[in-house]
Amino acid sequence: MKLFLVLFLSTLLLVSCTSKKEPQGDVVVSVLDSNIPHLDPIHSMNKISSTINGSIFEGLYHYHYLKRPITIEPALASAMPEVSKDGKKYTIQIKKGILFQDDDAFADGKGREVTAKDFIYSWKRLADPKNKALGWWMFDGLIVGLNEWRDQMRNGEATYESEVKGLKALDSHTLEIQLTRESFQFIHFLATPPTMVMAKEVVDKYGKDIVNHPVGTGPFVLEKWVRNSEVVLTKNPTYREVYYPSEGSEVAKKKGFLKSEGRRLPLSDKIIVRIITERQPLWLAFLKGELDHGIIPKDNYDQVFKNNKLKKDVADKGINIHYLPRPDVTFIAFNMEHPVLGKNKNLRKAFAAGLDKEAILATFYNHRGLVAQSPIPPGLKGYDPNYKHPISYDLEAAKKYLAEAGYPEGKDLPVFDYEMSSTSTWSRQYGELLKDLWSQVGINIKLNANTWPQFDKKIKTKKATMFDMAWNADYPDAENFMQLFYSKNISPGSNNFNYVNRTYDELYEKALTLQPGPERYKIFRKMVDIINEDVPGIFVVHRIFRLTYHDWLENYYEYPIIYDHLQYYFVDKEKKAKLIKKL
Amino acid sequence: MTFLIFNVVGGDPALQLAGKYATPEQVESIRHELGLDQSLFHQYLDFVKQTATLDWGRSWQTQSKISDMILSGIGPSLSLTVPAFLISFFISIMVALFSVSARGALLVWDRAISIFCLALMSISFLVYIISFQYLFAFHFRWFPLNGWDDSLMGRWGYLVLPWMISVVVSLGPNILIFRTAFLDEVIQDYVRTAQAKGVSRMILFGRHILKNAMVPVITIVVLQIPFLITGNLLLEAFFGIPGLGGLLIQAIQNADFPVVKAFTVVGSILYLFFNLVADLLYLVFDPRVELR
């Protein structure tokens, strides 16, 4: 017995003294706060998957890392596209000598050169109904003949060899794309992960397991992926010559991000992406120096900030803050098909006037954000900082609207079901605040907690009466927010308000055909006026995230729509050796 | 029940898979491909067939083979739960025996242990995790905060702290239950006879009482084994251990029915199997039990 005890205790001691292995070489330890379902770019429609896919794969275009507002520029394309006068035909030259990453799928295990046909193949994969690609919506109805090919594939009448009229390889490195209509968004779609290039050999070799075997042309190759734990990316030895940018925004210049100008990318040999879904360990791991950047949990703000400024003792440890204005809007949506809410504009106005957005901003976002006046967030062209929503928080006005709606002091007004998107404490507290605010007007709501699948089902099947949600830009254009109210997008599409307005639709369709410019923004403004008058929802906040990073992490300039950011990071090892002692 | 709960009450996987820009045609097409447009009876037959063949196909969400997902998660889950379970079992038996043997001259020890166990049980699991992680991994820096190493030798450093938490959490209920089982034996006639014959306390407790109290102990212990295999969600999430608990919760959050069904059926089979094992073990420890 004694022998057993001694053995057990010594083992415990030995094991417990095993400290975490310090990464060797030029290694960045990054973090994601959500799990990655798979690594097939055609499904990559969130920041989590796209962060990894954007490091392994490349598209024809990408966003400049340091310019703000963000600017599109060629990636695998050799220049911006030549667009025909009618705006429907795109001719794109592809850079020569771009190699796929080495993989057993290729002859001798060496990646071959990318050609125009690889893009056509990749986009057919995106359209192939068997793949159920989450990114298909981008090309849906946009490329001549692609929808027809999709239908034929569904019926077994076409193959990948079948021609798509709107997709042509003029030669090995020239693509010609014929659109069904003029589209300002198309170029942005070519900068998103679902349109990134893949090799047929790789897809054929791995079959359905392609979701676990990403092989692209990007700066990193996948070395290891332990689900729910970590992803390890190592430098792609055959990555083309790409250099750190020499231009950037004023913030980028001020923060010294141009110091790496001219260095060959990627700047690190290895990126370890830890997946930590719980806030406490993520935060503690950051404070301990195990992560190079992190996220501050809502309840730890006081530990970092005083009067909304970084505390001195925190700053002295070399902890820094990156202010990230997100191109998003949080909103409370009304189901316009609801027999009472949907038909009574004054009732919806009463809800809007009874909502204290400043209180929400203070309580739930620690003042991190701007009160929203319209769906268009700051940072996108079309956003007007001087625009004010015609209805602001005013209890008396809310009561007046309610009386005009036919329910003076809330008399005979039914109780409305309010769907919360999760069962978390945050959601419940948020719901309770709304309930309290609207009860002061005379409106009563019943809070329903949901799991995400339940919530999603209620919304997409139009069963929800009202609910809260957020919309993040998928591409940097105000149109991405305007389409939320287009009648052809009603549930199960993105118009979860189920809002239908013919004038709005006509303006939207007109705006779709226009290039960015005053005329287009004027139309957006008219559309905003229409929805702010009809109140299919209440726009609450445009969030500003405050992300933390250690001073030793160089070039940390995160932005939601930029997916190839990891190649710009590197760790200043001397700085780290000094600063880590202070943690 | 499993089939009905997830097909009737849960979310709609077709809507989830179609994404935020879905069109009704796409949703219908996905529903057709997943077989969700077939009658409930037909879907139930498929479910029975999968259960019979143990071939669950692929996850709707990750598109990986479910068997591969289970195989990749089972090692980390067992590494987390089994050692903690064995340590907890060993300590609980020792303390419970001591507690029972202390009744009499050392009654105060028995009471102190009972109060201590109740105190341990009154604290939430989450509080243990948060405070231990803060104290031992962050403040004292004795252990890594979070992470995982695939190699068999490399992983232990990441597991010591979760084991400690797991052991502390399970000590309270285990000690109290084992103590009750031992107390039931202490008052038996054979114990009094053995004491009268001058049998030493070590032999009395270690050989006679322990063996005779094993039937309830086995019931408790063996029925915990299926839960060891299915992992521990909270510990896995806080310590970054890629076990089965995390996979299951993700599947539930994403309405990934094939994965949820596979886990439920495998869990049920394990539960039934270990129930049977517990019954068979009674034969070993209690000669009065026989198979008929």
Here the tokens at position A345 are: 């504009």
Helix (H, G, I), strand (E, B) or coil at A349: helix
Contacts of B146 in chain A (CB under 8 A): 274, 276, 281-282, 285, 290
Name the pLDDT band for B25 (thresholds 50, 70, 90): confident
Instruction: Sort out which chain B residues have CB atoms less than 8 A from A274's CB and list them.
Output: 146-147, 240
Round to whole Å and give the CA distance between A326 and A331: 14
Rounded CA-CA distance B29/A557 in Å is: 41
pLDDT tens digits, B152-193: 888 989 999 999 999 999 999 999 999 999 999 888 899 889
| CB–CB contact B156 A140 (8 Å) | no
> pTM for this one?
0.88
- How close does chain B come to A186, measured CA to CA in Å? 16
The predicted-structure confidence for A53-76, as pLDDT tens digits, reads as follows 999 999 999 999 999 888 999 999
Q: Let me know: does B223 contact B275? Beta carbons within 8 Å.
A: yes
Contacts for A380 with CB less than 8 Å, ≥ 6 apart: A69, A327, A473, A476, A477, A478, A481
Q: How many CB atoms neighbour CB A179 within 10 A?
A: 20
Local confidence band at A21 (pLDDT 50, 70, 90 cut-offs): low
Contact A281 B133 (CB under 8 A): yes
Q: Decide which of B73 and B283 is more confident.
A: B73
Asked if pLDDT for residue B77 goes beyond 50, the answer is yes
Which tens digit of pLDDT belongs to each residue from A424-434? Answer: 888 999 999 99
Q: Which of helix, strand or coil describes residue B155?
A: coil
Angle at CA A211, nearest 5°, toward A205 and A217?
Answer: 75
DSSP state of B58: B
Per-range mean pLDDT, top range of B106-110, B165-169, B250-254, B265-269: B165-169
Give the mean pLDDT of B212-236: 84
Q: Are A376 and A476 in contact (CB under 8 A)?
A: no
Tens-digit pLDDT profile for residues A233-268: 999 999 999 999 999 999 999 999 999 999 999 999
CA B117 to chain centre: 20
**With helix as H, strand as E and coil as C, how does A148-166 read?**
HHHHHHHCCCCCCCCCCCC
CB-count burial class (<10 Å; 0-12, 13-18, 19+) for B42: exposed
Concatenated DSSP letters of A480-537 = HHHGGG-GGGBTTSSBTT----HHHHHHHHHHHTSPSSHHHHHHHHHHHHHHHHH-SE
Contact status of A169 with chain B (Cβ, < 8 Å): no
Query: Which helix (DSSP H) or strand (DSSP E) does residue B62 occupy?
Result: none
**How does DSSP classify residue A543?**
E
Give which of A20, A45, A461, A581 to mutate to test B binding, by max B Cβ within 10 Å. Answer: A20
Enumerate long-range contacts of B220-224, CB under 8 Å, 24 or more apart.
Answer: B220/B174, B220/B177, B220/B178, B221/B89, B222/B274, B222/B275, B222/B277, B222/B278, B222/B281, B223/B271, B223/B274, B223/B275, B223/B278, B224/B85
Residue of chain B minimizing CA distance to A226 = B242
Mean pLDDT to the nearest integer, A556-573: 94
Angle formed at CA A47 by CA A482 and CA A566, multiple of 5 degrees? 130
- B-interface mutation test, from A147, A460, A469, most B Cβ less than 10 A away: A460
Note the residue count of chain A: 583
The Cα–Cα gap between B109 and B95 comes to 10
| pLDDT tier, B29 (very low <50, low <70, confident <90, very high otherwise) | confident
**Residue A2's pLDDT is what?**
52
Comparing alpha-carbon positions, the chain B residue that sits nearest to A277 is B237
CB neighbourhood size of A109 (10 A)? 9
Q: Which residue of chain A has the CA closest to B24? A: A492
- Which residues in B lie closer than 8 A to residue A15 (C-beta atoms)? 156-157, 159-160
- Which residues lie across from A548 on neighbouring strands? A294, A321
Q: What is the mean pLDDT of chain A?
A: 93
Q: Give how far Cα A82 sits from Cα of A73, A89, A404, Å.
A: 13, 8, 56
- As a whole number of angstroms, the distance between CA A265 and CA A239 comes to 9
Q: Does A35 touch chain B (CB under 8 A)?
A: yes
Bond preceding residue B242 cis, omega within 30 of 0? no
End-to-end alpha carbon distance in chain A: 42
The yes-or-no verdict on residue B228 having pLDDT over 90 is no
Cα gap A389→A397, rounded to integer Å: 14
**Chain A residues within 8 A of B13 when measuring between CB atoms:** 453
Return all residues near A277 (Cβ < 8 A) that are at least 6 apart.
A33, A34, A35, A228, B237
Residue A266 and residue A233: Cα distance in Å, rounded?
Answer: 11
Which residues, 6 or more positions from A256, have their beta carbon under 8 angstroms from its beta carbon? none
Judging by beta carbons within 10 Å of its beta carbon (0-12, 13-18, 19+), is residue A156 exposed, middle or buried? exposed
Q: List B residues 262-291 in contact with A (Cβ-Cβ < 8 A).
A: none
Question: What pLDDT score was predicted for residue B250?
Answer: 86
Strands A167-171 and A174-178 come out as antiparallel
Location of structure tokens 């929503």: A389
Of B65, B146, B253, the CB nearest to A281: B146
Q: Are A90 and A177 in contact (CB under 8 A)?
A: yes
CB interface of B with A, residues 239-258, below 8 Å: 239-242, 246-247, 250, 252-255
- Is the pLDDT score of A358 beyond 50? yes
Dist CA A351 CA A349 (whole Å): 5
- Residue A188 CA from chain centroid, whole number: 14
Residue A1 tokens, joined: 């017995």
Q: Do A280 and B137 touch (CB under 8 A)?
A: no
Q: Is B140 on the interface with A (CB under 8 A)?
A: no
Residue type at A448 in one-letter notation: N
What percent of chain A lies above the pLDDT cut of 90? 81
SS3 content of chain B, % helix, strand, coil (to 5): 75, 0, 25
User: What six digits make up the tokens of A390?
Assistant: 């015609």
Put simply, the chain B residues between 183 and 242 with a CB less than 8 A from any chain A CB are 236-242
Asked if residue A214 has a cis previous peptide bond (ω within 30° of 0), the answer is no
Q: Are A453 and B11 in contact (CB under 8 A)?
A: yes
Torsional sign, CA A239, A240, A243, A247: negative
Rounded-to-integer distance, Cα A324 and Cα B135, Å: 32
Higher confidence at residue B229 or residue A479?
A479
Query: How confident is the model at residue A24, as a pLDDT?
Result: 60
pLDDT over threshold 50, residue B265: yes
Which residue in A47, A192, A229, A580 has the most chain B C-beta atoms within 10 A of its own C-beta, making it the best mutation to test that interface?
A229
Q: Does A227 touch chain B (CB under 8 A)?
A: yes
What is the rounded distance in angstroms from the CA atom of residue A425 to the CA atom of residue A431?
10
The predicted pLDDT at position A12 comes to 52
Round the average pLDDT of chain B to a whole number and report it.
Answer: 88
Q: Evaluate if residue B256 carries a pLDDT over 60.
A: yes
Indicate whether A305 pLDDT > 60: yes
Categorise residue B289: left if φ over 0, alpha if ψ from -120 to 50, beta otherwise: beta
Whole-number Å distance between alpha carbons of A52 and A212 = 12
Nearest CA in chain A to B27: A492
Enumerate the residues of chain A whose CB falls inside 8 A of the CB of residue B151: none
The interface predicted TM-score (ipTM) is 0.87
**pLDDT at residue number A3:** 47
What confidence tens digit (pLDDT) does each residue in A334-344 have? 999 999 999 99
- Band (pLDDT 50/70/90 cuts) for residue A546 is confident
**pLDDT higher than 50, residue B137:** yes
